[in-house]
Amino acid sequence: MTEHEPPPIRIGVVGTGFMGRQHLEFIRAAPGATLAAVADPVPAPEAGRGLPGYEDAGSMLAAEDLDAVVIANPNALHVDTALDCLEAGVAVLVEKPVAMAYAESRRLVAAVARLDGRLLVGHHRRHHPAVARARAAIQEGELGSVVAVGGIWSARKDDAYFAETSWHRRPGAGVLLINVVHDLDLLRHLCGEVAEVQAMTSSHARGLEVEDTVSLSLRFESGAVGSLLASDAGVSPWGWDQATEETLAFPYLPDGVAYRVVGTQGALSVPNLARYAYDPAVPADWHSPLSRTYLPVAPRGSFQAQLAHFIDVARGVTRPLVTAEDASRTLALVEAAALAARTGATVDVAQFRAAIDARATEGPADGQGRR
Ligand SMILES: NC(=O)c1ccc[n+]([C@@H]2O[C@H](COP(=O)([O-])OP(=O)(O)OC[C@H]3O[C@@H](n4cnc5c(N)ncnc54)[C@H](O)[C@@H]3O)[C@@H](O)[C@H]2O)c1
């Protein structure tokens, strides 16, 4: 640390399961942060070996002088844990999904506004350098006007993932809320808001209460259309986790692609950033050969970039890239897709959100005067 650098921020981690343990490693490796404490009813191996460990977030917040908390406990606890942290005045990085349901996420959106809270939601893919470059290519018209986007996330999860962790088998989990939430968040980030969604889901492969496979059709407000296939039962090289070198937990495949964006003047696959276009000297139609160029980006892991960004959010020097409001909209889209699958109807996403917002306004306030 030079004399001009601010002191490292003290971060506590709530939930030290699969994802929480990864956050511990990211924090340990990050310049600008110190791992101060953990909270989990099942003690992490490091707790007690020099790292203070607590049963829950409340006792950690009461005992430790923290600047920030990373929340990686089960989804059902996200909102209440984040509210406790915001009320204690610490910055929050809460794992996705921000809540179990859009209606519940609105409590957090309101609390962030009421408390002027610093809260980032862990849609880490947005921090990947390829995503910023793809977004710039789309927004600056490098592909012409986007007409369509196709996405896929399919990977066979280990059977123990479902057998050993009961919440992974129950409503509140499922491939839509656990995995597709990332893809829909990223498609919103790249291509703008989704106006309408149609969906089919299946639990055929695993036979669980939650869906294992989904197919979605999307219409974006821009007029572009999209499709997204996802499965946690199907083996494939296609999907963000296989297509990026984010973690050794998901071995990298160089031919993995997650999204294909198709425009009137070119196409782009993401995250490998292969851009296809006609030579300006030839007619721009399907009789001409397409050339492929890989757009250059400086490599950086999304989780490391997310943590560096979170440290800045905690210090109050930048606004969160993924706000509670933004993640809440992604969650509404996931729910709209689930409704579309249940009913077979095309769901208008803005109307879907408005109907839930109206019910919340009419409904009774909670015991503390909050809705
Ligand atoms: N960003 C990503 O790519 C990514 C990947 C995996 C999981 N996640 C998210 O991370 C979160 C955790 O998922 P996971 O796969 O690590 O689950 P997990 O079941 O492995 O871990 C959850 C941990 O929370 C602990 N816990 C339970 N109740 C608690 C409480 N009251 N206070 C503190 N800790 C408590 C459990 O003991 C467990 O150690 C979920 O929200 C999940 O959606 C995100």
Q: Residue 363 has what pLDDT?
A: 64
Q: Residue 82 has what pLDDT?
A: 98
Protein residue whose Cα sits closest to atom 18 of ligand 1: 17
φ/ψ (deg, to 5) at 138 = -70, -50
- Half-sphere CA count of 212, side-chain side, radius 13 A: 19
Closest CA to 91 of 108, 122, 66: 66
On whether the CB atoms of residues 352 and 335 are closer than 8 A, the answer is yes
Taking CA 123 as the corner, what is the angle to CA 303 and CA 209, rounded to the nearest 5 degrees? 120
124 CB less than 6 Å from ligand 1?
yes
95 CB less than 6 Å from ligand 1?
yes
Which of ligand 1's atoms lies nearest the C-alpha of 167? 19
Give me the domains of the chain, ranges plus CATH numbers. Answer: 9-123+304-322 (3.40.50.720), 129-299 (3.30.360.10)
Protein residue whose Cα sits closest to atom 4 of ligand 1: 19
Name the one residue in this structure whose structure tokens are 């009461």. 62
CA 121–ligand 1 middle distance (angstroms): 14
pLDDT (tens digit, 0 to 9) for every residue of the chain, 371 residues total?
Answer: 556 788 999 999 999 999 999 999 999 999 999 999 999 999 877 776 789 999 999 999 999 999 999 999 999 999 999 999 999 999 999 999 999 999 999 999 999 999 999 999 999 999 999 999 999 999 999 999 999 999 999 999 999 999 999 989 998 889 999 999 999 999 999 999 999 999 999 999 999 999 999 999 999 999 999 999 999 999 999 999 999 988 888 999 988 899 999 999 999 999 999 999 999 999 999 999 999 999 999 989 999 999 999 999 999 999 999 999 999 999 999 999 999 999 999 999 999 999 999 998 886 544 444 43
What angle separates helix 181-191 from helix 324-343, to the nearest 10 degrees?
110
168 CB less than 6 Å from ligand 1?
no
Closest CA to 243 of 201, 183, 291: 183
CA 72–ligand 1 middle distance (angstroms): 4
User: Strand ranges (DSSP E) for 88-145?
Assistant: 91-95, 119-122
- Half-sphere CA count of 233, side-chain side, radius 13 A: 16
On whether the CB atoms of residues 71 and 12 are closer than 8 A, the answer is no
Taking CA 151 as the corner, what is the angle to CA 148 and CA 155, rounded to the nearest 5 degrees? 170
84 CB less than 6 Å from ligand 1?
no
Closest CA to 69 of 42, 56, 295: 56
CA 358–ligand 1 middle distance (angstroms): 31
Q: Residue 25 has what pLDDT?
A: 95
Q: Residue 371 has what pLDDT?
A: 39
CA 320–ligand 1 middle distance (angstroms): 22
Q: Residue 241 has what pLDDT?
A: 94
244 CB less than 6 Å from ligand 1?
no
Q: Give the helix/strand (H/E) hosting 227.
A: strand 225-231
56 CB less than 6 Å from ligand 1?
yes
How far is 299 from 275, CA to CA, in rounded Å? 18
CA 168–ligand 1 middle distance (angstroms): 10
Contacts 24+ apart (CB under 8 A), 217-224: 218/149, 218/187, 218/194, 219/194, 219/195, 220/191, 220/192, 220/193, 220/194, 220/195, 221/192, 221/193, 221/194, 221/195, 222/146, 222/191, 222/192, 224/146, 224/147, 224/148, 224/149, 224/191
CA 95–ligand 1 middle distance (angstroms): 8
On whether the CB atoms of residues 98 and 41 are closer than 8 A, the answer is no
How far is 107 from 344, CA to CA, in rounded Å? 30
